[in-house]
Structure 1
Amino acid sequence: MAAPPPQTLVLNTLFSLVETFNDFLNVSIHTILYSRTLYRPHNFITTSKYNLPVQQNRHPQVCTWICRACSEVQTLLLKGILRCIFIVIYSQDAEVIERWVFDVDHFPVALEEDALTELNVLGVDKVSLVDVEEQLRATIQKLKYCGERMAALPENSTFTVMVELKDKADPPTGHLQPWVLSEPILDTEEKGNSTTTRADLGGVRRMHVRTVEAGLFRFKAWVEEGKTGPNDDR
Structure 2
Amino acid sequence: MATEDPSWTVKQCIDVFREFLIVCIHSILCNRQLYPESLFIKSRKYNTVVWQSRHPILCNYIQDAVEACTQELQEGIVECIYLSITSTDQVELERYIFSAYSIPRIPDFLLEKPVSPRVPYSDSFVESLRAAMIRIQNATHSLQQLPENCSWSIRLTLKENNTRPKAWETWYLSEHTPESNLERRYQNLTIPLRNISIGPMDSEIWLESRPDVYDNEK
TM-score range, shorter chain: 0.7 to 0.9
Tell me: CA distance 1:214–1:78, structure 2 relative to 1, closer, same or farther (3 Å).
closer
| Bigger RCO of structures 1 and 2 (CA < 8 A, at least 6 apart) | 2
Residue 36 (1) aligns with residue 29 (2): no
Per-residue CA deviations over 1:132-159 (Å, capped at 9, x if unaligned) read: 2221111111110000010000011110
Q: Distance in 2 between matches of 1:217 and 1:31?
A: 23
Name the SS for the 1:18 alignment partner.
helix
TM-score, normalising length from structure 1? 0.81
Equivalent position to 1:165, from 145, 158, 161:
158
Q: Is the 8 A contact 1:10 1:129 kept in 2?
A: no
Q: Distance in 2 between matches of 1:36 and 1:186?
A: 26
In structure 1, the residue matched to 2:50 is 54
TM-score, normalising length from structure 2? 0.87
The runs of 5 or more residues in structure 1 that have no matched partner are 1-6, 191-195
Q: Distance in 2 between matches of 1:143 and 1:21?
A: 15
Name the SS for the 2:154 alignment partner.
strand
Q: Is the 8 A contact 1:50 1:137 kept in 2?
A: yes
Q: Is the 8 A contact 1:95 1:228 kept in 2?
A: no
Structure 2 matches for 1:1-234, cutoff 5 A? 10=6, 12-119=8-115, 124-130=116-122, 131-174=124-167, 178-184=171-177, 187-189=180-182, 197-199=185-187, 204-213=188-197, 215-226=199-210, 229-230=213-214
Q: Is the 8 A contact 1:34 1:55 kept in 2?
A: yes
Shift of residue 106 of structure 1? 1.8
Tell me: CA distance 1:91–1:80, structure 2 relative to 1, closer, same or farther (3 Å).
same
Q: Distance in 2 between matches of 1:185 and 1:68?
A: 30
The runs of 5 or more residues in structure 2 that have no matched partner are none
Q: RMSD of the TM alignment (CA)?
A: 2.8
Q: Is the 8 A contact 1:89 1:159 kept in 2?
A: yes
Q: Distance in 2 between matches of 1:40 and 1:185?
A: 35
Aligned residues: 214
